[in-house]
Amino acid sequence: MAIIRYGSEIILRHEPTRGFLRSPGVPYRHPKSSQQDQVTCLSTIDSKSSWFVKPPYGYPDDYLYGQPIQDGAVLRLENRASRKHLHSHGNAPSPVSNQQEVTCFINRDGSGDLNDNWILQIDRKKIFETNTPFRLIHTLTGCALHSHANALCVAIVATLYLWNMVASFSTSHIQPLLQNTFGVK
């Protein structure tokens, strides 16, 4: 297993659905949405599935560069294709689950904000490694990133893309461990 470090480029897979976290670069357009870029899951890896691991908001990108990431660390994930951060906020519902929306976002000045920060939770290990199950908890809301893989979800996202295995991402209060588990591939 390889150690994941600040500055690493990773691909995340939602373990229950086997879908890869990605951002297609298309904004949410439903009423009451943030109008920020969608975050979805796809059964195959593409150019929009890669993420850079960065230090928390407020620190320069090279802060902690090359350092192993430990359980409990606060981090940001930047989508390689869009250069926007995995982001959430409590004021816009997901169109699928009506739970907290998850997006990719960056401010006009190229920075993000505190809504880009996630806490890494790893079971039974202290260091973040490939093939190690983990959870991402949104720092400001305490909600866990997870996916929904149901017909309703596929229908809503598939109006923009004709893929077989698409799942919308949202956050929710801590669910059973398996539902919120991701892995790095």
CATH number assigned to the domain comprising residue 160: 2.80.10.50
In a domain, residue 135? The reply is yes
DSSP string for residues in 107-137: -TTS---GGG-EEEEESS-SB-BTT--EEEE
Q: Check pLDDT > 80 for residue 176.
A: no
Going by C-alpha positions, the residue among 125, 127, 137 that lies closest to residue 74 is 137
Query: Greater confidence, 40 or 8?
Result: 8
CA–CA distance, 101 with 169 (Å, rounded to integer):
7
In a domain, residue 160? The reply is yes
Question: Tens of pLDDT along 74-116?
Answer: 999 999 999 999 998 877 666 666 677 788 999 888 889 999 9
Sign of the alpha-carbon dihedral angle for 64, 66, 68, 74: positive
Q: What is the largest CA-CA distance in the chain?
A: 44
CA–CA distance, 150 with 171 (Å, rounded to integer):
16
Q: Check pLDDT > 50 for residue 153.
A: no
In degrees, to the nearest 5, what angle opens at C-alpha 113 toward C-alphas 106 and 50? 50
DSSP string for residues in 39-75: -EEESS--TTSEEEEEPPTTS-TTTTTTPBPBTT-EE
> What's 139's DSSP letter?
T
Q: Confirm if 21 and 41 have CB atoms less than 8 A apart.
A: yes
* Placement of tokens 């902690």 in the chain: 64
Specify the pLDDT at position 55. 97
In a domain, residue 4? The reply is no
Specify the pLDDT at position 185. 64
Element (H, E) at 154: helix 151-157
In a domain, residue 86? The reply is yes
Q: Which distant-in-sequence residues (6+ apart) come within 8 Å of 119 by Cβ?
A: 72, 73, 74, 136, 137, 138, 139
Out of 52-61, 83-92, 125-134, 168-177, least confident range? 168-177
Question: How confident is the prediction for the chain on average, in pLDDT?
Answer: 78
Going by C-alpha positions, the residue among 12, 74, 75 that lies closest to residue 39 is 12
In a domain, residue 105? The reply is yes
| Domain enclosing residue 82, as ranges | 9-177
Question: Tens of pLDDT along 32-44?
Answer: 777 888 888 888 8
Confidence of residue 69 (pLDDT cuts 50, 70, 90): very high
Count of domains for the chain: 1
